Amino acid sequence: MATAGAGSYRNANHRNSLNNKVDKNLSVNSNPKTSLKSKPSLRKSAPASLGGAGKDDSGVAGRVRVAVRLRPRNAEEKVEDADFSDCVELQPEMQRLKLRKNNWDSDTYEFDEVLTEFASQKRVYEVVAKPVVESVLDGYNGTIMAYGQTGTGKTYTLGRLGEEDTADRGIMVRAMEDILADVSPETDSVSVSYLQLYMETIQDLLDPSNDNIPFVEDPKTGDVSVPGASLVEIRDHQSFVELLRLGEAHRFAANTKLNTESSRSHAILMVHLKRSVKGRDSILSTEISNSSHMVKTLKPPVVRRGKLVVVDLAGSERINKSGSEGHTLEEAKSINLSLSALGKCINALAENSSHVPVRDSKLTRLLRDSFGGIARTSLVITIGPSPRHRGETTSTIMFGQRAMRVQNMLKLKEEFDYKSLSRRLDIQLDKLISDNERQQKAFEDEIEKITREAQNQIAEAERNYANALEKERLKYQKDCMESLKKLEEKWMMNQGKDGDETGKNSDVSTNEEFARLKNLLQKETLVRKAAEEQVNNLQKQLAQSKTAEASGNSEILKLRKMLEDEKFQKQKLEGEIGRLHSQLLQLSFHADETRRRLDRVDPEKVLGALDSPMHPGRSQLNDLENGEKTSIANLFEQVGLQKILSLLEAEDADVRIHAVKVVANLAAEEANQQKIVEAGGLASLLMLLRSSKDETVHRVAAGAIANLAMNETNQEIIMSQGGIRLLSMAAVHAEDPQTLRMVAGAIANLCGNDKLQTKLRNEGGIKALLEMVRCRHPDVLAQVARGIANFAKCESRASTQGTKTGRSFLIEDGALPWIVQNANKEPSPIRRHIELALCHLAQHEENARDMISGGALWELVRISRDCSREDIRTLAYRTLTSSSTFQAELRRLRIEC
């Protein structure tokens, strides 16, 4: 506490000298007038606007600033390194660091800032990040990056939220506080994107479904952007903290020997800032045509765009120290490759090389603006004091030394805001249009009124004319009827009363004969038409029959040719199957011979030989393994994957067994996994589990499925095709421990997928794991414990995000008694996984009562006190102290945590 207080006092009393030192380090030719703090001079060096005519691309040179921060010893180092002194000695007043080679010799390195283990988070922010944040507020690009070994405090330095203690806030939170305090909500905007670079793919931490995002490079300026990422506008500090918490929940992490929550991806926070420059608008008024209206000519407002990039690099690690295996090993390889590519770029820039290998990695392409570009960059390298990690500490220090030699050319990003001007002109145009429409509507209303009055007058005149016309018509009709009536009476009087009856009868018979002949003629006409239609139909049917006969003959010829081709292909395939059969038998013989030679060697002797890099046993084993892989690769190239997969359905049992062994060996290589799935290999392996009763086939097929289940996309395919039910059935009928180990490993990999939790449990995945503990073989139990730990971790994450409520599925399916029973047993891998599972289960408050009644509380107390690993011990302690239910039970039992 005294040291921390002294540090704060030193910051308060020497703020002016510290600012002068920062300005001096960032200046050109050590001239204070061109420093970051001297904003008018900086703008004078780059006065041009990116959006205006006559722009100038000249900028201000600025070296990459590097600070080194030492992490204090942790509990494990205090115990194991108690008899050894620290490998580094800091001289903060001289900005120097000494790296001890031995007790009498050391190397000295100078940095821009040297931060001891007692340096506060506030001081780290002020000397590392604050100058960069001020540059971003002035319209420049800025980068803040942390580099160092796993577990040295990079994420603590950058991403600490400080919700429990505000003094612990990291650079991300403090930078956003300064930005929000300086911008104006009415005219400025702040937007944030949060990404992670995982296994050479860019993923959106704010939207996990948005993965494998492409990035775009401007061919003219070289600027790199990620248009597909979520861009969230920030209005207040609390919303930014919620975004950081959401992003950290989606970031990939794993448990290693160096760190319980080791970051497995590079986290990249991008803050886009847009600020309006006041005092740059002018309004000119002129009178046109002696009118009283003023015409305003507007110049577009000027805006400055700054971008702050905060990069939390994943920690570099050595595999033999971190203990990575399986998918975690592949993650470590990807991390080390990307960091190696970044180091090569730094070396090339530091040596002024003509070629900088920026395109070797997506990380270097994203950071091309930060090293040798147009951004102001600050780098903080984090190191540990332990002499066991002297090699990693040396590598980190040399990375920082080379980075200090990289020069950037800072450029002001200023442009005209044509969008704002366009919005203002649109508003004026809308107003003029509305006034014109209002006047037009008034004119149309007047015209409509006049038209309506005229139409009323016309209608009245038409009604009067129609009435007069109707009266005249009725009058003339009446006169006409009277005249007709008089004529009819007169005709009737003149008509004779006698008629000729004979003439009348003759007329009637003639009419009847004419009607009969007419009916006969009509009937004959209808019959003739029907006969013509029938003849036409018969002719059409005859033509169709001839066409069908011709097409049938051609089809018969085609079928004969197809039968001949099929016969030839069948003979060719039979020959290939015989050749494949012989190759598979030879390959299986080599693999079995290799396994027999390895089984004859004592496992303890093999492990001892492998610990010595010069021991001949290691080269012999490597030769055997390389020979087998070479044989498989040669077979894969010569035969082809599709033909190998076709042998999985062969009727010969030996051929089927050898084929599934070859597929399992191919699935062990990550490069082949996608090809196997796309070619239908996964479906064939699941079909073998369903149809075959041979335990050897089950063992090898389960091992191949376990390798394929390391990929998230393959996991969803396995679940959709009923893979859990098939693996559970294989576990029920299996007796061989190796078969059970393969099945348990496949289910354990599926347990690590957040999206498949509910489906995996509903299809019996948890019960299948618990069923396999009957074997009691350590390898099987280790895979079971790993699967339970993966499932508990995913459930804990889902509960934290609010997507999972209620008790844990593990507790509901009866896994808690076995977890408690084996929490303190050897071997250590089983115990470590079970201890992690207990800690993750305890993080959800709804599991607390069941864990207390099941005896898990005592195990949590033991873990928090006696666990050999500090990270698990700390996690158990934090879980106990954060749960009100656990605290109440401990007080009742009078136990101090």
Rg (CA), the chain: 44
Does one domain contain both 396 and 359?
A: yes
Q: Phi and psi (nearest 5°) for 32?
A: -65, -20
Does one domain contain both 437 and 410?
A: no
Please give the structure tokens belonging to residue 257.
């020997």
In a domain, 705, yes or no: no
pLDDT digits (tens, 9 = 90+) for 24-53: 333 333 333 333 333 333 333 332 222 233
Among 317-326, 620-629, 796-805, where is mean pLDDT lowest? 620-629
Among 154-163, 483-492, 803-812, where is mean pLDDT lowest? 483-492
| 148 annotated among ligand-binding-site residues | yes
Q: Which is more confident, 389 or 399?
A: 399
In a domain, 532, yes or no: no
pLDDT digits (tens, 9 = 90+) for 73-84: 887 877 777 667
How much is the mean pLDDT over the chain? 78
Q: Which of 738, 840, 825 is nearest to 787 (CA)?
A: 840
pLDDT of residue 96: 93
CB 142 within 8 A of CB 132: yes
CB 833 within 8 A of CB 873: no
pLDDT digits (tens, 9 = 90+) for 746-784: 999 999 888 888 888 888 899 989 889 888 888 899 899
What CATH number is given to the structural domain containing 176? 3.40.850.10
Among 120-124, 254-258, 642-646, where is mean pLDDT lowest? 254-258
Question: Could you tell me what percent of the chain has a pLDDT over 70?
Answer: 77
Q: Which is more confident, 286 or 130?
A: 130
Does one domain contain both 383 and 471?
A: no
pLDDT of residue 418: 66
Among 572-576, 620-624, 838-842, where is mean pLDDT lowest? 620-624
pLDDT of residue 607: 30
Q: Phi and psi (nearest 5°) for 295?
A: -100, 120
| 523 annotated among ligand-binding-site residues | no
In a domain, 5, yes or no: no
Q: Phi and psi (nearest 5°) for 120?
A: -80, 160
| 247 annotated among ligand-binding-site residues | no
Domain stops at, among 383, 416, 449? 416
pLDDT of residue 601: 40
Res 621 pLDDT > 80: no
pLDDT of residue 293: 42
pLDDT of residue 178: 94
Q: Which is more confident, 779 or 528?
A: 779
Whether the pTM exceeds 0.75: the reply is: no
What residues make up the domain containing 335?
65-278+299-416
Provide the angle, in degrees to the nearest 10, between the axes of the packed helices 390-403 and 327-350: 40
Calculate mean pLDDT across residues 358-376.
87
Neighbours of 541 (CB within 10 A): 9
Give the three-state DSSP class for 312. strand
Calculate mean pLDDT across residues 831-850.
89
DSSP β-ladder status, 302-312 and 141-148: parallel
In a domain, 312, yes or no: yes
Indicate the burial class of 857 (C-beta count within 10 angstroms; 0-12, 13-18, 19 or more): buried
Highest mean pLDDT among 3-17, 418-432, 713-727: 713-727
pLDDT of residue 97: 93
Res 149 pLDDT > 80: yes
pLDDT digits (tens, 9 = 90+) for 267-283: 999 999 998 876 544 33
Res 582 pLDDT > 90: no
Does one domain contain both 410 and 439?
A: no
CB 143 within 8 A of CB 64: no
pLDDT of residue 331: 80
| 157 annotated among ligand-binding-site residues | no
pLDDT of residue 634: 55
Catalogue the long-range contacts made by 858-866 (C-beta closer than 8 Å, 24 or more residues apart). 859/820, 859/823, 859/824, 860/886, 861/890, 861/895, 861/897, 862/823, 862/824, 863/823, 863/835, 863/838, 863/839, 864/897
Does one domain contain both 236 and 121?
A: yes
pLDDT digits (tens, 9 = 90+) for 500-509: 544 455 555 6
Does one domain contain both 368 and 412?
A: yes
In a domain, 688, yes or no: no
Please give the structure tokens belonging to residue 203.
């993923």
pLDDT of residue 243: 93
Please give the structure tokens belonging to residue 33.
């007038």
pLDDT of residue 19: 38
Does one domain contain both 405 and 438?
A: no
Of the pLDDT bands very low, low, confident and very high (cuts 50, 70, 90), residue 586 is low
With a CB cutoff of 8 Å and minimum separation 6, the contacts of 20 are 32
Of the pLDDT bands very low, low, confident and very high (cuts 50, 70, 90), residue 244 is very high
| 154 annotated among ligand-binding-site residues | yes
Calculate mean pLDDT across residues 796-816.
88
pLDDT of residue 615: 34
Does one domain contain both 364 and 461?
A: no
Entry field: residues in the chain: 897
Does one domain contain both 360 and 459?
A: no
In a domain, 122, yes or no: yes
Does one domain contain both 333 and 368?
A: yes
Residue 251, strand partner residues:
none
pLDDT of residue 175: 95
With a CB cutoff of 8 Å and minimum separation 6, the contacts of 737 are 775, 777, 779, 780
CA–CA distance, 91 with 108 (Å, rounded to integer): 10
Does one domain contain both 379 and 447?
A: no
Q: Which is more confident, 742 or 477?
A: 742
Of the pLDDT bands very low, low, confident and very high (cuts 50, 70, 90), residue 620 is very low
Report how far Cα 218 is from the mean position of its chain's Cα atoms. Answer: 23
Residue 382, strand partner residues:
69, 148
Number of domains in the chain: 2
407: left (phi over 0), alpha (psi -120 to 50) or beta: beta
Among 15-19, 509-513, 801-805, where is mean pLDDT lowest? 15-19
Does one domain contain both 73 and 193?
A: yes
Highest mean pLDDT among 126-140, 536-550, 585-599, 617-631: 126-140
pLDDT of residue 127: 94
In a domain, 216, yes or no: yes
In a domain, 730, yes or no: no
Among 350-354, 664-668, 708-712, 725-729, where is mean pLDDT lowest? 664-668
pLDDT of residue 43: 31
Question: Could you tell me what percent of the chain has a pLDDT over 90?
Answer: 19
Report how far Cα 423 is from the mean position of its chain's Cα atoms. Answer: 35
